[in-house]
Amino acid sequence: MGRVGTTHTPVTADTIRTWCGTADHLVIKPVIDLHDHIHVDAYEVPDRIKEHLTLRDHTCVFPWCTRPAQSCDTDHVHPFESGGETSTDNTAPLCRRHHRAKAHGRWKLTALSPGSYLWRTPHGLHLRRDHTGTTLLPTSGHT
């Protein structure tokens, strides 16, 4: 069993065998375990972390954004300059517009766990974004 990376569509081993016999160009990649923690000692985010994030998060992780992760920037949730590591636990896909909103605006992002994010809006709302979507969280009145 396999899966087409661009569409996430499952395919049978027979289909893969057929492709291998007729395809001019075929890329087979190892299975990525989304429970793995990948970490590098550099600012630049390697492709293996980007692929991990694409498979885990699917889209930009800004509330309600649906832009596909493979066309997003990779953001350091806790800035690298402030000690944030380049890892699957501290990076997230953000489309260019929402990357700028985070970097230059008053939207605050915290990684709750791998693939689960807390956004604090400029108006003090708390929103959780994860694989189930965006959820408005109750706040205690403090931001």
∠ CA 84-87-89, nearest 5°, is 85
Stretch of 18-26, 27-35, 95-103, 120-128 lying at the interface with Zn ion (CB under 5 A): 95-103
Distances in whole angstroms, Cα of residue 37 to Cα of each of 45, 82, 83, 87, 124 = 14, 20, 17, 7, 31
Give me the half-sphere count of Cα atoms (radius 13 Å) on the Cβ side of residue 41: 0
Binding status of residue 117 toward Zn ion by CB under 5 A: no
Contacts with 105 (C-beta within 8 Å, 6 or more apart), sequence order: 122
Among 11, 32, 55, 65, binds Zn ion (CB under 5 A): 65
Binding status of residue 109 toward Zn ion by CB under 5 A: no
Among 53, 56, 62, 90, binds Zn ion (CB under 5 A): 62
Stretch of 1-9, 10-18, 87-95, 118-126 lying at the interface with Zn ion (CB under 5 A): 87-95
Stretch of 17-25, 43-51, 59-67, 84-92 lying at the interface with Zn ion (CB under 5 A): 59-67
Binding status of residue 99 toward Zn ion by CB under 5 A: no
Binding status of residue 92 toward Zn ion by CB under 5 A: no
Task: For 4-18, give one letter per residue: b (16+ CB within 10 A) or e.
Answer: eeeeeeeeeeeebee
Binding stretches for Zn ion (CB under 5 A): 60, 62, 65, 67, 95, 98
